[in-house]
Amino acid sequence: MDILFFSAQPYDIHYFNQANQQGEHRFRFLEAQLNEDNTALIKEETAVCVFVNDKVNAAVINILHEKGVRLIALRCAGFNNVDLKAAAAVGIKVVRVPAYSPHAVAEHAVALLLALNRKIYKAYNRVRDNNFTLNGLEGFDLFGKTIGVVGTGNIGAVFCKIMLGFGCKVYAHDIYENEELLEAGVKYVSLDTIFGQSEVISLHCPLMESTRHMINADSIASMKMGVVLINTSRGGLVDTAAVVAALKNGHIGALGIDVYEQEEHLFFQNFSGSIIQDDVLSRLTTFPNVLVTAHQGFFTKEALTQIAEVTLNNIRSFEKSELLLNEVK
């Protein structure tokens, strides 16, 4: 099958070519994001492979349909950037990679937490300047602290287990309770309890209308002073302007994010020689207690290998008219 990749980076090319060593599919890789302005780049491809920041709205989907595209293959778990109703209306199937390496994202969330708490990034820069003082690098023991986890799917569940290993008290909130986590000592509570009693809150839930801006001025006001907030899930879960205000008044003690609600304009691109026009993100990066990474939580060898293999298996199943196990409807 002929497949056109949008938002393709060098690592996408490497891992997908590696998974296609038998030459079963023909690839064309574009660095450009898919949107209404560049659908003309589509030629004879039957499938398009897209990532988290590609815009696959109704207008784009109608053009895909006119050009003969029959499959949208997401090489990620999230699908909030795809108009599923529009795709269904024109008969285009949508598949995704529901799980690749939950350990990759969960471990990255832990890395953000540890780096913020123990000021690793500050210490690194000091030592490089031959400054070996410890003033301002004080952290706190995670042992015994209450960690609130919103969402206990594959990634959230791994994060819970890691926090239990640190000796933390783990509170979780999800519409479905994980029996394994319950047996391990995780306590399921209301979202209000998560907000009100946690020293650390980590988000691991999908972005839907019901979860959009779940972290807002009101929910922040109910949190403990100095709470540490970690988000490696979806940027839209957080009202960034409200978080900036809470960082300024000290209500949020530290923020670690791997996602950002306006990231499609920035992430996976190099603006090192430019002035960033996003004032909110620019303000965020001025805080000494904020750590931003550019959606790299998934970025491990194991995860990239799994993403390529599952994506191609999804395409193979579609081509053979087999049951699409990872179809999004």
Per-residue pLDDT reduced to its tens digit, 252-309:
999 999 999 999 889 998 999 999 999 999 999 999 999 999 999 999 999 999 999 9
For the beta carbon of residue 105, count every other beta carbon within 10 angstroms: 26
Residue 164 lies in a domain: yes
Is the confidence at residue 101, as pLDDT, over 90? no
228: domain CATH number is: 3.40.50.720
Domain count, the chain: 2
Same domain, 167 and 286: yes
HSE, side-chain direction, 13 A CA sphere, residue 322:
9
Specify the pLDDT at position 77.
86
Q: What is the mean pLDDT of residues 150-158?
A: 96
Specify the pLDDT at position 244.
97
Specify the pLDDT at position 265.
86
Q: How far apart are CA 224 and CA 44, in angstroms?
A: 56
Q: What is the mean pLDDT of residues 1-11?
A: 96
Whether residue 263 lies in the annotated active site:
yes
Specify the pLDDT at position 78.
85
Residue 327 lies in a domain: no
Residue 284 lies in a domain: yes
Specify the pLDDT at position 186.
98
Same domain, 201 and 259: yes
Percent of the chain with pLDDT over 90: 95
Specify the pLDDT at position 99.
81
Same domain, 238 and 160: yes
Same domain, 258 and 268: yes
Same domain, 43 and 188: no
Tens digit of pLDDT for each residue in 232-248? 999 999 999 999 999 99
Catalytically annotated residue among 199, 261, 263, 264: 263
Alpha helices, DSSP H only, in 79-238? 84-90, 102-117, 120-128, 154-165, 179-184, 191-197, 217-221
Give the DSSP letter of residue 234. Answer: -
Whether residue 316 lies in the annotated active site:
no
Same domain, 159 and 70: no
Same domain, 84 and 196: no
Catalytically annotated residue among 75, 234, 251, 264: 234
Residue 329 lies in a domain: no
Q: How far apart are CA 170 and CA 199, in angstroms?
A: 10
Residue 324 lies in a domain: no
Specify the pLDDT at position 167.
98
Is the confidence at residue 100, as pLDDT, over 90? no
Q: What is the mean pLDDT of residues 158-179?
A: 98
Residue 47 lies in a domain: yes
Same domain, 179 and 306: no
Short-list 217, 110, 253, 218, CA closest to 170:
110
Is the confidence at residue 10, as pLDDT, over 90? yes
Same domain, 20 and 70: yes
Specify the pLDDT at position 264.
86
Same domain, 164 and 201: yes
Is the confidence at residue 250, as pLDDT, over 90? yes
| Domain span at 121 | 102-292
Q: How far apart are CA 185 and CA 171, in angstroms?
A: 9
Q: How far is CA 52 from each of CA 60, 143, 272, rounded to the nearest angstrom?
A: 15, 35, 22
Residue 304 lies in a domain: yes
Residue 328 lies in a domain: no
The pTM (predicted TM-score) of the whole model is 0.90
Same domain, 278 and 174: yes
199 and 228 Cβ atoms separated by less than 8 Å:
yes
Same domain, 163 and 227: yes
Tens digit of pLDDT for each residue in 118-144? 999 999 999 999 999 999 999 999 999
